[in-house]
Amino acid sequence: MESATGPKLSSDLLRGHTDTIVLGILHKGDAYGFEIYNTILERTGEQYELKETTLYSSYKRLEQDRCISSYWGDETQGARRRYYHLTARGRAVYRQNMANWEFTQKILADLMEIR
């Protein structure tokens, strides 16, 4: 049901999808942490903001799971930045998570009789 102020994005609906969001951004190419944060803001029209601590926890988890790797960028372009790169395992996890998401959307649509 829409409220008087309009629809709202529920953080509960996005909780658990942080890793997939990060993998999706890295699917387009390597990026550093704050760049990923800004991409999320930009893509959502600044309607959704992931806390930096949440993102950095995701980076650590994804790196431990070998879904991403990291490297230090060239310092000649300002502050030293840690870049993240999507691995082959990360691409496979991203594809599986997207398939799971599409399946979940279908089930929810059926349960809510949207279709």
In this structure, what CATH number is given to the domain that contains residue 31?
1.10.10.10
DSSP 84: E
Chain center to CA of 11: 13
Q: Is residue 61 part of a domain?
A: yes
In a domain, 82, yes or no: yes
For residue 4, tell me if it sits in a domain: no
The answer to whether position 35 is within a domain reads yes
What is the H or E stretch that residue 83 is in?
A: strand 82-86
Domain annotation covers residue 27? yes
Per-residue pLDDT 10s for the chain (115 aa) are 455 677 777 777 777 899 999 999 999 999 999 999 999 999 999 888 888 899 999 999 999 999 999 999 887 767 889 999 999 999 999 999 999 999 999 998 999 986 5
Q: Is residue 78 part of a domain?
A: yes
Residue 36 lies inside a defined structural domain of this protein: yes
Cα–Cα distance, 32 to 70 (Å, whole number):
9
What domain count does the chain have? Answer: 1
Tell me which H or E stretch contains 99.
helix 88-111
For residues 25 and 31, the answer to whether their CB atoms sit within 8 Å is yes
Question: Could you tell me the pTM of the whole model?
Answer: 0.85
Residue 68 · residue 85 · CB < 8 Å:
yes
Q: Which domain holds residue 84?
A: 13-112
1 belongs to a structural domain: no
